[in-house]
């Protein structure tokens, strides 16, 4: 049995196109855009329903409507301990705000680990809810996003409007 054997998936619609949701038991494991460029949903996930999917649907809808700025969903992202540290920091970036890869590395006490931090951000399995879209280049320019730079720009614009 593989580590993905107990993953279930479903798809929901969003203003940025379909999102594939993954859950293990009652926790969200992934949110992936269509044509996700960095390790999309694992092939072993089977179609199904989870109580967490209903929560995510409501909260994603409210987020795009501009009435939700914080998510309250049980999360279980899968990755290395370094990636988990980075993903925890991402969740602290305030709604409508942004930070740089270098600032995240410095916050971790590892200012020379900018590339490693960028790699962990790129592999964030729970798009939107763990807000990797809020990480921009040191120059202020938009940089890589597994959902594509257009979607990243639209997420940032949504948060700035609200």
Could you give the residue numbers annotated as active site?
Answer: 132
Residue among 144, 147, 138, 146 at smallest CA distance from 98:
138
CB 10 within 8 A of CB 53: yes
HSE-up of residue 72 (Cα within 13 Å, Cβ side): 2
CB 87 within 8 A of CB 64: no
**5 alpha carbon, distance to own chain's centre:** 22
Its sign, for the CA torsion 23, 24, 30, 34, is negative
CA distance 95 to 68: 10
């Amino acid at each position: 049995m593989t580590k993905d054997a107990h993953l279930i998936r479903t798809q929901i619609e969003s203003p940025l196109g379909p999102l594939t949701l993954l859950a293990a038991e009652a926790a969200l494991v992934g949110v992936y855009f269509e044509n996700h460029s960095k390790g999309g949903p694992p092939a072993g996930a089977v179609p199904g329903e989870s109580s967490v999917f209903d929560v995510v649907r409501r909260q994603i809808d409210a987020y795009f409507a501009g009435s939700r700025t914080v998510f309250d969903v049980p999360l279980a992202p899968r990755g290395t301990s370094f990636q988990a540290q980075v993903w925890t920091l991402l969740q602290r970036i305030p709604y409508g705000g942004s930070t740089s890869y270098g600032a995240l590395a410095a916050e971790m006490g590892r200012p020379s680990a900018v590339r490693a931090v960028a790699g962990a951000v790129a592999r964030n399995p729970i798009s939107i809810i763990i807000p990797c879209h809020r990480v921009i280049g040191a120059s202020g320019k938009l940089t890589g996003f597994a959902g594509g730079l257009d979607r990243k720009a639209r997420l940032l614009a949504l948060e700035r409007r609200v």
